[in-house]
Structure 1
Amino acid sequence: MKLPVMPPIAPMLAKAVPTIPPGASYEPKWDGFRSLVFRDGDEVELGSRNERPMTRYFPELVEAIRAELPERCVVDGEIVIATPAGLDFEALQQRIHPAKSRVDLLAGQTPASFVAFDLLALGDDDLTKRPFAERRAALEHAIGSGGRSVHLTPTTTDADEAQRWFTEFEGAGLDGVIAKPLDITYQQDKRVMFKIKHTRTADCVLAGFRWHKTSTSDQPLVGSLLLGLYNDDGKLQHVGVVGAFTAKRRAELVDELEPLLAGQDDDHPWAEWANADAHAKQRLPGNVSRWNATKDLSFVPLRPERVLEVKYEHMEGTRFRHLAHFIRWRDDRTPRSCTYEQLEQPITFQLGDIVPGLGG
Structure 2
Amino acid sequence: MDLPVMPPVQPMLAKAVAGVPDPAKHTAGGITGLSFEPKWDGFRCLVFKDGDEVELTSRNTKPLTRYFPELVAAAREQLPARCVLDGEIFVAVGARLEFEVLQERIHPAASRVSMLSEKTPASFVAFDLLALGDESYVDRPFVERRAALVGALEGLTGPCYLTRTTDDPVVAERWFHQFEGAGLDGVIAKPLGAPYSEGGRTMMKIKHERTADVVVAGYREHKTSTPEHPLLGSLLLGLYTDDGLQHVGVSASFTAKRRAELIEELQPLVCPIEEHPWGRWQEFLTANPDRIPGTQSRWSQGKDLSFTPLRPERVLEVKYDAMEGRRFRHTAHFKRWREDRDPESCGYDQLEQPVGYDLAEVLGG
SS of structure 1 residue aligned to 2:293: coil
Matching residue of 1:191: 201
Residue from 255, 259, 265 that aligns with 1:256? 265
Distance 2:12 2:106 in 1: 23
Structure 1 pair 340–67 and aligned structure 2 pair: CA distance change class (3 A): same
Matching residue of 1:110: 120
Q: Mapping of 1:312-331 within 5 angstroms? A: 312-331=320-339
Matching residue of 1:22: 22
Residue from 30, 43, 55 that aligns with 1:33? 43
- TM-score, normalization: structure 2? 0.94
Distance 1:172 1:270 in 2: 36
Distance 1:304 1:89 in 2: 30
Query: Contact 1:289–1:297 at 8 Å: present in 2 too?
Result: no
Matching residue of 1:4: 4
Residue from 50, 54, 59 that aligns with 1:49? 59
Query: Contact 1:209–1:299 at 8 Å: present in 2 too?
Result: yes
Query: Contact 2:154–2:162 at 8 Å: present in 1 too?
Result: yes
Letter of the 1:15 counterpart: K
SS of structure 2 residue aligned to 1:341: helix
Letter of the 1:323 counterpart: T
The offset of 1:160, in angstroms, is 0.3
Letter of the 1:296 counterpart: D
1:112-154 CA-to-partner distances (Å, cap 9, x unmatched) read: 0001000100010000111101111111111113232101111
Q: Mapping of 1:1-360 within 5 angstroms? A: 1-23=1-23, 24-231=34-241, 233-263=242-272, 265-275=274-284, 280-356=288-364
1:254-287 CA-to-partner distances (Å, cap 9, x unmatched) read: 211111111255143354144268x634221222
SS of structure 2 residue aligned to 1:164: helix
Distance 2:185 2:170 in 1: 17
Unaligned runs of 5+ in 1: none
Distance 1:152 1:337 in 2: 45
Letter of the 1:118 counterpart: D
Query: Contact 1:270–1:284 at 8 Å: present in 2 too?
Result: no
Identity %: 62
Query: Contact 2:285–2:296 at 8 Å: present in 1 too?
Result: no
Query: Contact 1:32–1:89 at 8 Å: present in 2 too?
Result: yes
1:203-231 CA-to-partner distances (Å, cap 9, x unmatched) read: 00111111101111221111000011112
Query: Contact 2:276–2:309 at 8 Å: present in 1 too?
Result: no
Matching residue of 2:28: none
Query: Contact 1:68–1:147 at 8 Å: present in 2 too?
Result: no
1:177-223 CA-to-partner distances (Å, cap 9, x unmatched) read: 00001111000000001000111000001111111011112211110
Letter of the 2:246 counterpart: Q
The offset of 1:103, in angstroms, is 1.2
Query: Contact 1:262–1:268 at 8 Å: present in 2 too?
Result: no
- TM-score, normalization: structure 1? 0.95
The offset of 1:291, in angstroms, is 2.6
Distance 1:45 1:260 in 2: 51
1:32-87 CA-to-partner distances (Å, cap 9, x unmatched) read: 00010001111111111111111111111111111111111000000000121400
Count of aligned positions? 355
CA RMSD of aligned residues (A): 1.5
After TM superposition, where is structure 1 displaced by more than 4 Å over at least 4 residues in a row?
none
Matching residue of 2:30: none
Stretch moving more, 84-93 or 281-290: 281-290
Unaligned runs of 5+ in 2: 24-33
Structure 1 pair 285–71 and aligned structure 2 pair: CA distance change class (3 A): same
Distance 1:309 1:275 in 2: 29
Distance 2:21 2:152 in 1: 29
Query: Contact 2:239–2:247 at 8 Å: present in 1 too?
Result: yes
Letter of the 2:295 counterpart: N
Distance 1:85 1:309 in 2: 31
Structure 1 pair 137–338 and aligned structure 2 pair: CA distance change class (3 A): same
Letter of the 1:22 counterpart: D
Letter of the 1:19 counterpart: G
Distance 2:134 2:273 in 1: 67
Query: Contact 2:273–2:279 at 8 Å: present in 1 too?
Result: no
The offset of 1:236, in angstroms, is 1.4
Query: Contact 1:168–1:347 at 8 Å: present in 2 too?
Result: yes
Structure 1 pair 57–281 and aligned structure 2 pair: CA distance change class (3 A): closer
